[in-house]
Structures are given as structure tokens and as C-alpha cells.
Structure 1
Amino acid sequence: MAILSELREAVDAFAARSALDVERDELLAAVRVLSGDDLIDIAARAYAVIHTAQCVATVAAAVIAERSTREQGHGGLAAVKGHKTARDLVQAISGGTKADAARTVRLGESLLDGEPAGDAGVGARPAVVTPWHDPLRRAMLSGGLTAAQHDGIYRGLGEPPAAESSAVDSVLLREAWTLAATQLIAEAAHLSVEELARRARQVRDALDPAGLEERFARRYEARSFVRWTDAEGGRHARIDFDDDGGELIEAIIAAALRPRRGGPRFVAEDERRAADDLVADPRTNDQLTYDLMMGVLRAGALADAADVFGARQPGVRMVVVKDAVGPRDPFGRLIAAGNVEDGGNAIPGSMIERAICESGTVQITVDSCGNPLDVGREQRLFTPRQRIALAARDGGCRWPGCDVPASYCEAHHCDEWSADHGRTDIDRGILLCRHHHMMLHNNGWRIAREGKGEFMLHPPGSGAAGLESRVMASRSAVRWAWDPPPKRASWRERPAA
């Protein structure tokens, strides 16, 4: 459908809503009387208009940037209109922030044609290399991706690393990034923009473990702890974490505040009272975090960890695919990419080796669908080892749109233990956060799985309130190990130098 026809169709859908044909200052009152389904419908139609118009605005920004390059100098479009850069011109047109204008221009520039591929000869039109992100461009222009989704994938994947040996390597690297972009487009419907961008970074780090080590080293060099005192005598600090320290801090805070932040209900009886007391504590989460960190600093290395953290002590669990471990670089560092269990942030080989040396490993063998061995009905609850496996396979709560990490989740039996004689097997279990687990049991939702197929979320009743059954996609950062993109089982392998 032509872009203007699509925009006109979306606007015409609003025109059919006579209840909204009011003055601006009467709009809020008109919307408040709508039913829930009508409210959701008009919101969806509004965003359809926004996404279509955003596509037009992004393409316009692309051409503005193309006509405002530094080489064009004072004759460029932005300069002619009295602006220094294309971003400044777009900001003046949109009335938005510099950050919004910069994102629109950056996104627009990614839609432009590729660079000329060398000298094509006198009088000949230069050949154009199809950029690796061409699937993103086509998906956005066809309406398959929003501008925000495109930007999340594009920035998360970044540019392929420089080829190390020949032009052939460049072609293969670009192909790997193209396949990754295509796979992420397919996942976009099941993920929030934030989760999609994080997933793109995880894929990038799996494809480029050597680059992961370099990025890790840059963040390590940039670590800092800056303190200052304001005019009133108040003391402040800003911390720039390296990867290792950042994950440790997150683990410490999660271990202490997990019950307050929506952690799992199924804890040992001796922990339940402490969890209830924490939930009822009148301090804010920020105040609790501050008091916790002061306690950690005071305790130092001399105190028993249980004195500070109680029974649930902190730790950072890493997930590494065993056969994805690569060779070593000239400095002797392992070229590999692992992932933190909660959130899936990538970790380089040097960090993996240090963790193995300090803590050891737990090995899990999975089938082609990522499922470990069964334990049947001998026990009602999933074992700690099974929960590790669920975390590696699911990556957190699998309810569509939820981003709660694995350590905050509860293991749900798809087949009810009593009613369906369910088995405590990994392939019949799935991670859900406390909120969605309770909603599932209390509101009539149902999760089903045929054999080793996808987990499917079914709404209450039969399509109640217009809801449809949805796939519950894995959020695991290592899902590629058992679910690679089609027709390219070795897509993750970097070409040999």
C-alpha cells in the first residue's frame, strides 16, 4: 500500500470515531467514558498513525542529512536555512529535543544507499554495496518495524568488525550481521524495544568475542568513583562501573532486596518472615539500597557474609556454551563470549576464566530444544539444578513483554501437579515472574506446549476480549546454541583468519 494511502487509512479510522470529534480541551473527558476495549483500540490506531508518520519523517531526515553534508559547505540545505547541521534543522522542524533529532537523523542516515564500492571507471555509475542492515531498512519502510525497533537493533548490533585477512572475510562478516538482523526482526514482535536492543548486543557479542574483550577492556579503563560536595555541604558521588563490578553490585542489591522488588514467593520457611518484614519496611527502595551499601562497606572483608546478606547471599552466575569457547589472543586471553544469567549481559573470556578459577562450574547437557533430562514425579518442586537449566533456557519471565530476570522468577508447571498429574520435567516447566504466575492461576490464563514445540500462552476462555494466543519466546542470551537462524547452522562461527 502506498505510504500516503496507509496514512490516510489510519486517519480515516479515527474519523469513524465520532465520540472523539471534540475540541482539544474536551478530549480527556471524551476518552474517559470509553470502554476498555474502545480505549485500547483508539490507542492502537493513534500509534499506527504515529509509526507511519514517523517513517515519513525519518526518510525526510535522511534526505536532509544527505543534502547537508560538510562537503556541501554553505550551499548545504541546513546551512541555507540558517542551521549548522542536519540535526539542528530537524530539531527546529520537529520542536523536539536534540537527542530526538539526533536519533531521527542517525536512523535516517542508515536508510541511505550503501557506499560506492571502489572505482567503477570513467563515465560508469559506481557499484553500490548492499549494507548489512538492508533487512532493517526494508522492514521499517514496509511497516514491519517501528523506528524505535529499527534503532534498537541497528545500534545494538553495531558495525561488523574490520576484516582480518581478505575481502572475502568482509563479505562473510557482513552476511553474519545481515542474518543476525533478519533473526532479530522476527523476534521484534515478542520483545520490548529495550529488550530488543539488549538482545541485539548479546548477538553482537556472540558473533564477535574478540570485540567483546576489547569493549570490556575499555569499560574497565573508564571505571571511576567521583565524589563532590555541593554548596549546602551535601556529599554526592557518581560511579562508572566496569562490567565485573557492575554485575557484583546488581547481585548484592538483588540478594538483599529481591522480596521487595518482586522476587519469588517460594522461599525456605526461615526466610519468609524476613521477606515479609522487608516488604513492610517504611524505607524507600533507594534508601534501603543506600543503607545496604553502607552496611557492606562497614562489614568489609572481616564479617561473615551471612551477617550482611542473611541466607540469600549474592553472586553472579554466568552461562557459557561449552562448544563456543574459542582460541586465545596474543595476550593469552580466552576468545569466548558468555552471558550473565540475569539480563544476559555479555562477558568476555578473561572474566569467564577468572570465575571458573574462583567458583568452579556446573555442567548442563541439553537436547536440541534446550531441555535437560527429566526427573519425573518424584518431587513436587523443581530442583536447584533444574532451575539453573530453566534460567539458561528461558532467560527470565517468558510472558510476552515482561523483562523480569531469572533470579526473580518462579518455575511454573504447564501440566498442573494435581489436576493433570503433571511431571516436574524441564520441558513442561517455564519461568514466570511472581506477578504473571499469580495472574495465570487467578485469571484463567493457560500455558500449553505440544511436544518440543513453542510454549503457547492462551487467554481466558476462547479469545476473550479479542485476545489471541501468543508464542512465549525465550529471552535467553544463548538461545542461538539450540535455535540458530534457518539455513545457517554455523552462522555464529567467525571466519578463520
Structure 2
Amino acid sequence: MLSNPTPAPATAVEAAMVAFETALQGLRDVGFGELSNNRDRLDLVQRFETGTRTIAGFGTVLIADMQEQWIPGELGDYRLADVLADTLRIYPSEAKARRRIAEDLGPRTGFSGAPLDPVYPNTAAAHRDGAIDRAHITVIREFFAQVPSYVDAETREQAEAKLAEQARILRPDQLRRAGNRILAYLNPDGNAPEVDRDRKRTFILGKQGTDLMTKGSFCVDPELRSYLEALFAKYAKPGVGNPHDADSTVDAEPTDEVAHRDERSVGQRQHDALTMVLRDALASGTLGQHRGLPVTVVATMTVKELEDASGTAITGGGSLLPIRDVLRVARHAHHYLALFDDDDGRPIYLGRSKRIAQGDQRLVCYARDKGCTFPGCWRPANCCQCHHCREWVAELGLTDVDQLALVCDSHHRLAGVKDTDWHTIVAGPDHQYPGRILWVPPKHVDPTRKPRINHYFHPHEYWDLD
């Protein structure tokens, strides 16, 4: 009896991929029980490592090619990194890191259409050969981030070739030490020009931990350091601004007794000093507006949470703020606090006939949406603008709060009325989440066009999912 022949692969790439997947399945089926000694096992682990690195090199080339031909919204999102994160189910930070590596190690095309070598050609070759892994690449990229701007192109090329050569035989930690020696040779005086100092300046606020505390890192320029020194000289002295001492002062010189009982460390006093200065700056009203609201703290919570003085509010920046801290903040300045019903949490109705959403409407959106409504987006409310779920028409359109949605700048570009755009609708009263914003994907993203909702800012809803 004749069986139906297996269709031939459409391309040579597909044929090779089928053979590769078949070989992987074969390894899974065979297992490794027949290996009798650790030398054989180690050799196989080494071969697997080379194969894994080679596959990563293939991915780098593909990501670089996608970046060269990228059309925003073509695959369902505006940024390639977001598409990679969603498709591969990896951290957005990991997706961005892979894209940046592809920019440096992937093939490029010039303005004339002629192919160009990668930014780091020797490192790219070692990556494709499976000789180096991600850690080696990170060391090399960090090395060039520290190379002074006055070093000429030829010297940079020689350094890259030498580092790539050493990466094939050294561990990443050993490669870093070799890179430091090369860097010391290139910059023996160690005096970075102003342009290099400017390139290094950074202030990164990390993510909140489970204890609601936040770690970060910074590298400040001489100007900011001078400001901090002046600030700490006054506000970080023992006995000044101690939140645990009612007798602690700010304006007057603290008494010896108050200063003596201040048990805070230097780091804690400097932390509290920054808190005081930033609180005063926000309360001053001189910082202008951001997206239609004064630059200040916007916190949302339920009436029950406020009455019980327990739980956490969520700020416009997406942070969690304990209710007791909200009450303390409210004593110092007129910040924004939006209170919503405990049962359904639905906002009150506010209508406007102007094109721009008013400040009170933005507050309602802050409280209801808490951040970008696009499925899976994590950007907080103060990084969003108000999007009209019904397309606004100058003659007839209304800017009503129940038809507004918070959307970040990136995903706002995806919304529209064409068949290739994402559409936004408001969930009806019979929906599981009435009044919430639903995003309907275009057919090329989801042929069924099933509406999607963002649960990121409403984590309790994840328990409701089937």
C-alpha cells in the first residue's frame, strides 16, 4: 500500500531546519545512558555549548536582518524588541539586549545598498563559529564603551581583532582583565575628556522589590556632584530632617541632644535629605505640567484602603506606595488622590467637547487604567497620553472619559481605523471587566480578531483567566 509522500521543504533553509529538529528529537529519544565516563560526558557538554553558541549567532543574523527591513506594526507591535519579547516569551530587557548585539554583530547595508561588515567583524565571526558566548560579547562591547573618543579608527580595529582572538581561548573574566590592560595602554593618563565624561553620565532607578524598596545605580558628572554636596551639607547633617524624631529640625541648627540621638547612617541621612528636597520641589508648583497635569504625585486607591489605612496605592509612575506613606505625603503638599468604588471600581462620567482631555479626566484614566492599556504593556500612566476609543471628529466628537484610554506613545501609533490598525473599544456592561479598554488586533496579527485586554496593572485579574 502506497503512503502519501512527505512534501518536500520549500527552501534549503527549511530543509536544514527540519533535519536539525529531527536530530534533536533523536538525541532526546536516545538519551545519554550509554555514556560510561565523565570525559565523554564533558566532551558532549562542550559540543552542546558550541552548538548553542552557534545557534545564538544564527539568531543574531536574523534579528539584524529583521531590523534592517522592519516596518512598525507589521508583526503586531511598533518595536522589534517588543515583538521578540512577546514571541519568544523573554524579558523585554533580554529582547533589547539581543537587538543591540545584532546591531553590532549582524550584517549591515549602506545607503547605496551595498553590504557592510558588522561593527565588530572579528567578534561577529567568533560568534557565528560558536567560539564565544554572550558574556564574551558583553565584555568586548563594554570595552569599547570606555575607549576614549580620541583613539583613531585603525587602533580600534586592531584592539577589536585582538580581543576577538583572545575571546576564543579565554573565559569572560580573563578576557575582561586582558581588555583592561589594552585600555590602560590606549589611555595611560586616565584623564577622560569632557565628551567621554558626558557619555558616562547616568542615573538609573531600578525596579521595586517585593518589599517595595528600590535599588539603582548612578554615575554623576561634576556639576551634579557639586549640587549633591551642597544639599547634603545642610540636609544630611545629624539631627536634620529625621522622620523618627518630632524635634528634628530643617531650618534651624539642630541641638546637640537632637543630633546625638539621631541613629541614622550617612546613607540613610542622605536618602532622607533627597526626599525632603524633592518633596519641597513638587510642592512648590514651579515645575510646570506633564501631559496636562502638574508635575506631582498621583496616587489611586479604594475607599476601603483609605479608611483602613492598609494596602498600597499605585502612583502615576507605576510604583506601589503604602497607604501610610500616602497619608504622610498628603500632609506636605496638594498631590492628587483618586478614590474609586470598592465593588466595581468604575469611574464617574465626565464629558468634554474639547479635543484635549482635561486634567480631571486624566485623573480618572490614571485611576481606571493605571498605565498603558495595550495588551502586555508595562509603561505607567505618566508615560501615556489619552487615546480616543471613538475616532474624534472636530464637528461631532466628544472627549468623554468613558471613551478615553491611556496609551503609551509607542502603542498609540498602532491604533487607527484602517484594517491594518489595532482598534480600541470599551467593554460593555456584560463583559467580565465592564468599562475596561479592549484592543482588537488586525487580521494579519490574529485572523479571529479576538479582543485583548491588559492585565498588567490589575494583577489580581490573572487569577480570573481560564
Larger Rg: 2
TM-score normalized with structure 1 length: 0.38
Q: Which structure is richer in relative contact order (CA contacts within 8 A, separation 6 or more)?
A: 1
The structure with the greater share of residues assigned to helix is: 1
TM-score normalized with structure 2 length: 0.40
